[in-house]
Amino acid sequence: MINCLKTNIRLFQTKRRFPKAVIYPGVEISSSSSLEENVVVFNSTSIINSTILDNTYIQKNSVIINTKIGMYCSIASNVHVGNAEHPTHFVSTSPIFYDNNQPLPEFLVDRPLNEQKKQQTIIGNDVWIGHGVIIKSGINIGTGAIIGAGAVVVKDVEPYSIVVGVPAKHVKWRFSETIRNGLLSSKWWELPKSFLSTLQNEFEKPEIFLKKIDLVNNENKGRI
């Protein structure tokens, strides 16, 4: 009963911190993290020292550490991003020997001995990350990329690239180079939803979608 009450209080406090986001039970969000508008975080997910931008969702049992995630990203369950690495040149790889800031009961050091600069992981806009993916800290995932389920990402991923496997490797592009460059230049994810909704018949036709955005941009320039 007491544990249930504590859980409900914690959930209430988290929702109060992020009134424009949707937070499910069991979510842990560090004080150094931020969620923007219409972010959805599902059950039992942990977000540590990270920023999540508008209209992105993260499914249950995921862990996001020291990461910036762009807009309109779709992140499946059991995804781990930015996990810390253990030093391999110490006597032991156990944190007991090098970092007394870890949540362990005892340590053999009185200060962190492995103070490496924290590498931020960057995930662009409109990225789809499949179930069970692991992304090494410091990686840059380009806008529009797709990471296949179960992949282990150990190097940067190009925009609109599809990667799969362990380690993750490029298998194909989502679009032609012309369309890729056009989508990146358009920065459509920054456009008002009210405008994007008028293009709903073109969502499955990227080339026409881009032409209509260019048309509107040209009209706006003509009014200046």
Residue 201 belongs to a domain: no
Catalytic residue among 86, 89, 131, 170: 86
Confidence check: pLDDT of 51 > 60: yes
Residue 161 belongs to a domain: yes
Instruction: Convert the pLDDT of each residue in 87-146 to its tens digit.
Output: 888 888 888 888 877 778 898 888 888 655 568 999 999 999 999 999 999 999 999 999
Confidence at 54, pLDDT banded by 50, 70, 90 = very high
| Maximum mean pLDDT: which of 71-75, 192-196, 217-221 | 71-75
Domain span including residue 55? 2-174
Residue 56 belongs to a domain: yes
Judge whether 13 and 31 are in contact, CB under 8 Å: no
Q: Which helix (H) or strand (E) holds 185?
A: helix 177-186
Residue 82 belongs to a domain: yes
Question: Which token pair is 110?
Answer: 């009185």
Residue 18: CA count within 13 A, CB half-sphere? 27
The structural domain count of the chain equals 1
Confidence at 224, pLDDT banded by 50, 70, 90 = very low
- Give the pLDDT of residue 1: 61
User: Distance between CA 214 and CA 74 in Å, rounded?
Assistant: 26
Residue 104 belongs to a domain: yes
Question: Which token pair is 2?
Answer: 């007491």
User: Which pTM value belongs to this model?
Assistant: 0.88
- Give the pLDDT of residue 83: 81
User: Distance between CA 3 and CA 89 in Å, rounded?
Assistant: 42
Q: What is the mean pLDDT of residues 55-70?
A: 97
**Residue 95, preceding bond cis, omega within 30 degrees?**
no
- Direct distance between the N- and C-terminal alpha carbons of the chain, in angstroms, rounded to an integer: 64
- Phi-psi sector, 132: left (phi>0), alpha (psi -120 to 50), beta: left
Give how far the C-alpha of residue 83 lies from the chain's centroid of Cα atoms, to the nearest Å: 13
Judge whether 97 and 152 are in contact, CB under 8 Å: no
Residue 131, domain CATH = 2.160.10.10
Residue 145 belongs to a domain: yes
Residue 170 belongs to a domain: yes
Residue 39 belongs to a domain: yes
Confidence check: pLDDT of 223 > 60: no
Please give the share of the chain, as a percent, with pLDDT higher than 90.
71
Whether 86 is a known active-site residue: answer yes
